[in-house]
A and B are shown apart, each in its own frame.
Chain A
Amino acid sequence: MARILIVDDDPDIVESVTMVLQKNNHEVLQAYGGVEGLEKAKKEKPDAIILDVMMPDKDGYEVCKELKGDASYRDIPILLLTAVVSKIPSTTYTHRMGMETEADDYVDKPVEPTELVRLVERLLKQ
């Protein structure tokens, strides 16, 4: 049982992820944008963060960068939720971007529930 923050501007994604994680006995915190996500992450210090990349107010890369650049939050593992992202021909590059922003893992949306659970478990073990 862990406390996991899900940050996505799409409420349906937030709801889906929440449902999957709760079924797996995790406590889920929700945020619907980059700014809110960053705030919650700092306040709640969750055990892990699932972070969408493309958000209108503050994108996932920035949130990730800010948290990883701060010694008090650096250790929170982050899973980036990616999609086909601007100016990049395919997802491989997106993943590379995720790596460069020091995210701990990444996954393409949509993600199968079982895969999500597997990735979160792996993230928590780090």
Chain B
Amino acid sequence: MTTLEALHILVVDDEKIIREGAERILIKEGWKTTIVESGERGLALIKNDTFQVLLLDLMMPGISGMEVLQAALQMQPDLLVIVITGYATIENAVSAMKSGAYDFIPKPFTPDQLRIVVRRALDKIRLEREAALLRSERERSLQDIANEKSKTLTIINHMADGVLVTDQKGSIVLNNPAVTRMVGWASKNPLGKHVSEVVKHEDLTNMLKKVLEIEDVHEQGISQEVAWGDPPTTFFMAHTAPVRNEQGDIIGAVTIFNDVTRLKELDRMKSEFVDMVSHELRSPLSAIRQKLSLMSDGFTGDISDEQKQIVGRVQHRIDGLLGMIRNLLDLSRIEAGRLVQQKERLVVPDIIEEAVELMVPEADKKGVTFEVTIDADLFPIHADRQNMETVCGNLVSNAVKYNREGGRVTIGARNRGEFVEIQVSDSGVGIAQENLGRIFDKFFRIRSDYTRTVVGSGIGLPLVKAIVEAHFGSISVASELEKGTTFTVLLPRAIT
């Protein structure tokens, strides 16, 4: 792109004084100028070189100015021609303008007059160039938008998930092939039609209606499982979210459909298996445990202290085994995404207190004491009650089990930004650094003289972690050998 400085002006005039005077004035302004004394020479230059402005005397011997003008414009249509003409021949100037000259300057002229007229021509060139630049930029960004649009469309059209976009009235503005395959429109072309018209599905229509009515701008949208067919043969997980404009007003909704039919089937099979195992493992263990109680409680006659101790130990191990089966079932269920059954607004202190209460008998046996500190203004959380009981129960029970005689369990709950933090610390044996990274692994148990005496399954912490993560929270651990261990759970606060 040539800059303004690179502009080249050609002066064609047979009068030496004018020619050279003009050259002096123009060069002084910093404009590159070439002068010639005849139309022939001028045209020859124009043929081989590019000029932006031509100062052309109309009255010259040889080829006339008008002829030069026409020939020059033919060669360079965007050339700005300023004709130089005497006062007596103003009509010539007019006809030159009609033939495509840009401007004229009467002869004789002052340096200022020349500067003004040339500058005006140069300004025009600059503006034209700027306009051209803007035009091309606009074209380029339009092109970019078009490319981006085409890219997005390709992505949407090749997604395995169904995509459905509706406007604020619930009319369809975009749908991809996957969603068409999934829902099977009632009409050939669903575009522009209201959802309820082309999809005969009340749950879905209601869901879309509900999402358009969400007032809270922080609300993410609605996720819901919808069954298809009568009786249901296909199941979709539909996630719908409002689309908002800059003012925060809802202008439509985007709905994504996952086909979860196979997952549900697997889930059902897994659940059947889990139920089978639960019954088959638990029943005999329960029976064994039951019979041992008869012995230890003296229903089968007196037993010696030694026998009683052994039976008690066996009972304890069986209890551990039963607990492990329960945890294992819970874990397999949460892995199947089924454990989080019912989220509700929960108050954390209640759950902590319950967990502590359950562990008081065992803590008393070891002389372990509790210290619970809960912020008065603690946020409620949105979670499954039983899940949270499992989380707090496991953490508190670990803190007691792995504590030293006469130790202390410190439990704290406080607000941390958008999260509720629950911290459970013990003054127990601690966890060695090399084991710290593995304690959330399934079936990992630290082997030591100390832990050998503690009944555990190696499933409690993985279960806690799985639950916390299923609630979009996190869990971390810090520990120092011989000093104690601290577990920190962060759970998102309930949206008010």
Contacts and interface: CB of A to CB of B under 8 A. Distances in A.
Given A19-B294, A20-B299, A114-B297, A89 B330 contact: yes
A23 B290 contact: no
Given A12-B290, A89-B339, A84 B297 contact: no
A47 B322 CA distance: 32
A83 B286 contact: yes
B386 interface: yes
A113 to B, nearest CB: 5
Given A12-B287, A84-B326, A89-B341, A113 B278 contact: no
A19 B293 CA distance: 11
Size bracket of the B interface: 20 to 34
B386 A89 contact: yes
B279 interface: yes
Interface of A: 10, 12-13, 15-17, 19-20, 23, 54, 83-87, 89-90, 92-93, 109-114
Contact of A16 (B271, B278, B290): B290
B297 A16 contact: no
| In the complex, the 5 A-B pairs of residues with the closest C-beta atoms, listed nearest first | A12-B287, A110-B289, A86-B275, A109-B286, A16-B290
B291 A113 contact: no
B464 to A, nearest CB: 14
29 contacts: A12-B291, A13-B290, A16-B287, A16-B291, A16-B294, A19-B300, A23-B299, A83-B279, A83-B283, A83-B286, A84-B326, A84-B329, A86-B275, A86-B278, A87-B275, A89-B338, A89-B339, A92-B386, A109-B283, A110-B286, A110-B289, A110-B290, A110-B293, A110-B322, A111-B290, A112-B297, A113-B293, A113-B294, A114-B297
Contacts of B329: 84
A91 to B, nearest CB: 8
A86 B293 CA distance: 27
Contacts of B339: 89
Interface in B288-316: 288-291, 293-294, 297, 299-300
B290 A109 contact: yes
Per DSSP, are chain B's interface residues mostly helix, strand or loop, or mixed?
Answer: helix
Contacts of B386: 89-90, 92-93
B334 to A, nearest CB: 8
Nearest to B339: A89
Contacts of A86: 271, 275, 278
B302 to A, nearest CB: 13
Given A10-B287, A13-B287, A83 B299 contact: no
A113 B299 contact: yes
Nearest to B341: A89
A87 B299 CA distance: 36
A84 B293 contact: no
Contacts of B294: 16, 19-20, 113
Contacts of B288: 12
Contact of A84 (B271, B282, B287, B289): B282
B36 interface: no
B325 interface: yes
Contacts of A23: 299
Given A85-B278, A89-B386, 7 more contacts: A12-B287, A16-B294, A90-B326, A109-B283, A109-B290, A110-B285, A113-B293
Interface string B272-286: 000100110011011
A78 to B, nearest CB: 19
Contacts of A83: 278-279, 282-283, 286
Given A12-B287, A13-B287, A109-B290, A89 B333 contact: yes
B431 to A, nearest CB: 28
A114 B296 CA distance: 11
A97 to B, nearest CB: 14
A83 to B, nearest CB: 5
Nearest to A81: B286
Interface in B32-50: none
B284 to A, nearest CB: 8
Nearest to A24: B299
Nearest to A117: B297
A111 B289 CA distance: 8
Contact of B283 (A10, A17, A112): A10
Contacts of B289: 110
A114 B329 CA distance: 28
B393 to A, nearest CB: 11
A15 B292 CA distance: 12
A23 B300 CA distance: 10
Contacts of A87: 271, 275
Contacts of A12: 287-288, 290-291
A56 B279 CA distance: 11
A12 B287 CA distance: 6
A84 B325 contact: yes
Nearest to B318: A110
Contacts of B333: 89
A79 to B, nearest CB: 15
A89 B389 CA distance: 12
Contacts of B282: 83-84, 109
B362 to A, nearest CB: 16
A112 B288 CA distance: 12
A88 B339 CA distance: 9
Nearest to A92: B386
B294 to A, nearest CB: 6
Contacts of A13: 286-287, 290
